[in-house]
Amino acid sequence: MRVTVVGMGRVGLTTAIALEHLGHEVAAVDRDKRLVGTLRRGELPFHEPGLASLWRNTRIAPVTALSPQHLNADILLIAVGTPGLPDGRADVSAVEGAAREIGQLAPDKADIVIAIKSTVPPGTTGRVQDLIDAELRQRGVTARIGTASNPEFLREGCALSDTLYPDRIVIGASESNAAVRLLELYAPIIRQQFSPPEGTPRPAGYTAAPVVQVRPVEAELTKYAANAFLATKLSFVNELANLAEELGADIEAVTAAIGHDPRIGPHYMKAGPGWGGPCLGKDARALLSTAADKGLHLSVVEAAVNANARQRQHLVERLEAALGTCRGATIGILGLSFKANTDDVSDSPALDVASLLLARGATVRCYDPMSEEKAQRERPDLAIQYQDSVDELSQGCDALMVMTDWAEFKELPWAKLANLMRGRTILDAKNILDRCLMEQAGFTYLGVGR
């Protein structure tokens, strides 16, 4: 099929690369000139496993503006950003802008389905249809343009794998033509009829992608509901972890035990520094705003958001209790990205913790194998000392904090690092280290909920 993807961020680019791998003819548009320049040089603007090698051999040549030719495709996917506004609402201006452009540029007799992959408030797909129809009417053009909601559930760090082997594909279409076309687009994924790209193998036992067909408003709400639920689950575990600390219990033992109950499940139950990243917080707040517009208060979701902010504070208080005071202390933070295998520092717990430590008078050093540049750009206001190696970071530190679960942090020469430090405290906010080994290396070990 001929597909146009609008928006070449993590979602649009991963989708475009995956669809080309499946054999579709893909065109790509992003209004960011610098980004398009980077992509046209064969480079990627971010780290995401498996994408670079496919992109080096791509035939996709992104451009900076949508043209009528892009609307002669079978499907156009809108994957533009929907950042949070200061009041929590999702900023859908890029989605609506793309819709207007589609209506202004569609050639007479165009026959295309517009699917919205961006995370948008319920009702947006209907509004996009109205905006397109209004532009077409004004121009007197008789194009057949249908719309659908097709929310994206990929996780950064395994975006390509999630795209090719998804938990489910949600299609929210109000008319059958749009649904049929999306089913055809994803048929190779649904039936798993493609050769896995090198480095992104098909998971053992994975034979087909489940498809959920609903109405647009249900597809849109599904995306928000999924992220709000995940946020709530983690906030619940983190609050329980704080209680476990007081009781002398190990949260990992407790979550393993409750996870055996199939109604609870073992996944996404890891206590830590609080959730972060570009989606969970933004989407939870957008859901709260959507509910508020309808006169409803989603108190559980609100509590999850508030508990998450407290969790970051709690970590700093825990460290301060161990050190006596943060004032004058030198703290080394290991990891800046919100999780491993991505260089994304959006809503990063590490940067928040750094900010809280600086406010308490600590000197803060940070090391991350991949995200230092992005962190400096995200928070230029923070007087963080960025270091090139873990050795440099540890030199003269009073305490270390592990804030990202990078695999390399599990295998560090801890005894040597302890000797470089002034103090010996380590707060393992991701619970990735072994207490006994850390104590043998000379550390006073603190985990989360342990």
> Residues in the site for ligand NAD, rule: CB under 6 A?
6-12, 29-32, 35, 79-82, 94, 97-98, 118-119, 152, 154, 156, 278-279
Q: Which of 279, 326, 366, 397 is an active site residue?
A: 279
Measured from the CB atom, the residue of 48 and 245 that comes closer to ligand NAD is 48
- Backbone φ and ψ for 146, nearest 5 degrees, come out as -100, 165
What's the length of the chain? 450
Active site residue 158: no
For residue 84, the tally of other CB atoms under 10 A from its CB is 18
Q: Which residue, 145 or 241, has its beta carbon nearer to ligand NAD?
A: 145
Nearest distance from residue 14's CB to ligand NAD, in Å? Answer: 8
Least Cβ distance, residue 219 to ligand NAD (angstroms): 13
Q: Is the dihedral of CA 273, 279, 281, 283 positive or negative?
A: negative
Separation between Cα atoms, residue 434 and residue 432, nearest integer Å? 7
Between 79 and 148, CB nearer to ligand NAD: 79
Place of tokens 């900023």: 91
Q: What are the backbone dihedrals phi and psi of residue 274, each rounded to the nearest 5 degrees, phi first?
A: 100, 150
Contact (Cβ atoms closer than 8 angstroms) between residue 69 and residue 61: no
Q: 191: burial class by Cβ within 10 Å (0-12, 13-18, 19+)? A: exposed
Q: How many CB atoms are closer than 10 A to CB 295?
A: 6
Of residues 159 and 316, the one with the C-beta less far from ligand NAD? 159
CB of 138 to ligand NAD, least distance (A): 19
Closest to 74 (Cα-Cα) out of 146, 172, 2:
2
CB of 94 vs ligand NAD, minimal distance in Å? 3
Q: Torsions phi, psi of 392, nearest 5?
A: -60, -40
- Min dist CB 10 to ligand NAD, Å, is 4
> Which is nearer to ligand NAD, 36 or 254 (by Cβ)?
36
Return the active site residues. Answer: 279
